[in-house]
Chain A
Amino acid sequence: MASSEHTREEKARLDDAFSALYKAHLRDVYSYSYYRVGNHHDAEDLTEQTFLQAYRHFERAQRESAGRPLRPWLIRIAHNLAANYYRDRSRKPQTPIDDAGVLSAPHTTEDLVEDRDELARILAGVQKLPDDRREALIMRFALGMDNREIARALGRTDGATKVLIHRAIRQLEEIVKQAEGPTEP
């Protein structure tokens, strides 16, 4: 039957496209989830739910994206689910984020301890930022998204996103300076 054959081909094409999207962005979604919720267990759940939601709405998203990258759409799903996660459980991260990023970064033996302390202070500072600033920094630095992608994920203009990121970095720098204490004369 011609129409069902066409439907089957279309579905196979969509499944292949979704599989490619999943393979390309699993690490992005997991990294985003991890830095949002602060632990691996909930990050796994959030990642799983993000891809299930994405699968349900993939056809429409692909149609409406008009060829633009779908990563901002995926991250927006994770963003919404993370917001629900906090709302449903009426909680914010209870403990500082694990230092997964610190552990995975290359270090020399000499500066290991000092470097780890510094990066841990930065991570702790990220957790103190307002939600929108924290999210923008995660997208920029953990996922390597550009302003346009972040703007799409957050539903803002490119200009507003640029300002948001700039202010977030400035605020974080202040937080980290205060955490380091006064410098020696």
Chain B
Amino acid sequence: MSEQFADFEGRLRRALSPVEPPAELEARLETTLGSLVDMATEELEAWELSSMGDPRNWTRIARPVAAVTVGSAAAVGLVLVRTQRRRHKRRRESVGSVDLLGRTLRDLAREARRVADDVF
């Protein structure tokens, strides 16, 4: 490898230096992942409770219901957090309160679709 080539690699390494994630992203991700971990724990507990009754019936019914219920709560929280994050941009771009409301609803719908794809 030529010296010139190695030198260019050094410049490239400096140009593409690692980018630190924003602190608020770390906090938000930890909260989101924590919710998912708790959600799965509650699902497990629901499964245990149901299996103490009649396992032939309860495990088939209660587990998915518990998962969907708890999972829905976590997912709704995630949608709200994500929509809330875009509020300054919406305010900047809107031309009145009706327009702002429309943009907020569109963002909510978009985030709901994305969270549904991510989580379920």
Chain A residues proximal to chain B, CB less than 8 Å:
1, 4, 7-8, 11, 15, 18-19, 22, 26-28, 30-31, 34-35, 40, 43-44, 47-49, 51-53, 55-56, 100-102, 104-105, 118-120, 122-123, 126, 137-138, 141-144, 169, 172-173, 176
Q: Report yes or no: A27 in contact with B20, Cβ–Cβ below 8 A.
A: yes
- The interface centre, meaning the residue of B11, B13, B16 with most chain A CB atoms within 10 A of its CB, is B16
Given A35-B16, A49-B118, A100-B19, do A118 and B29 touch, yes or no (CB 8 Å)? no
User: Which B residues lie within 8 Å of A22 (CB)?
Assistant: 29, 33
Tell me whether A52 and B118 are in contact (CB under 8 A). Answer: yes
- Please report the C-alpha to C-alpha distance between residue A100 and residue B17 in the assembled complex, in whole angstroms: 8
Q: Which chain B residue shows the least CB distance to A106?
A: B14
Q: Give bound CA distance, A100 to B21, whole Å.
A: 11
**Within the assembled complex, what's the spacing in Å between the Cα atoms of A33 and B59?**
41
The reply to whether A138 and B29 contact each other, CB–CB distance below 8 Å, is: no
Q: Shortest distance in angstroms between B6's beta carbon and chain A's nearest beta carbon?
A: 10
Number of interface residues of B (CB under 8 A): 32
Q: How far is the CB of B118 from chain A (nearest CB, A)?
A: 4
Which residues from chain B sit less than 8 Å from chain A, CB to CB?
Answer: 5, 8-9, 11-22, 25-26, 28-29, 32-33, 36-37, 40-41, 44, 47-48, 51, 114, 118-119
A53 to B117 Cα, complex, angstroms: 9
A residues less than 8 Å from B40 (CB atoms): 11
- Give Cα distance in the complex from A143 to B13, angstroms: 10
Known A11-B44, A119-B11; contact A55-B33, beta-carbon cutoff 8 A: yes
Please, which residue of chain A has its CB at the minimum distance from the CB of B40? A11
Which listed residue (B8, B26, B41, B44) contacts A26, Cβ 8 A? B26
Q: Is the CB of B37 within 8 A of A122?
A: no
A–B complex contacts, Cβ < 8 Å, 11 sampled: A1-B51, A4-B44, A11-B40, A15-B37, A27-B19, A48-B28, A51-B29, A55-B36, A100-B19, A122-B16, A138-B16
A102, A123, A141, A176, most chain B CB atoms within 10 A: A141
- A sample of 16 more A-B contacts (CB under 8 A), given A22-B33, A31-B19, A102-B14, is A4-B51, A28-B18, A30-B21, A43-B19, A47-B25, A48-B25, A48-B29, A51-B33, A119-B14, A123-B15, A137-B16, A138-B16, A141-B16, A142-B18, A169-B8, A172-B12
B15, A126: Cβ atoms closer than 8 Å: yes
Contact A7 B44 (CB under 8 A): yes
Contact of A31 among B18, B41, B119 (CB under 8 A): B18
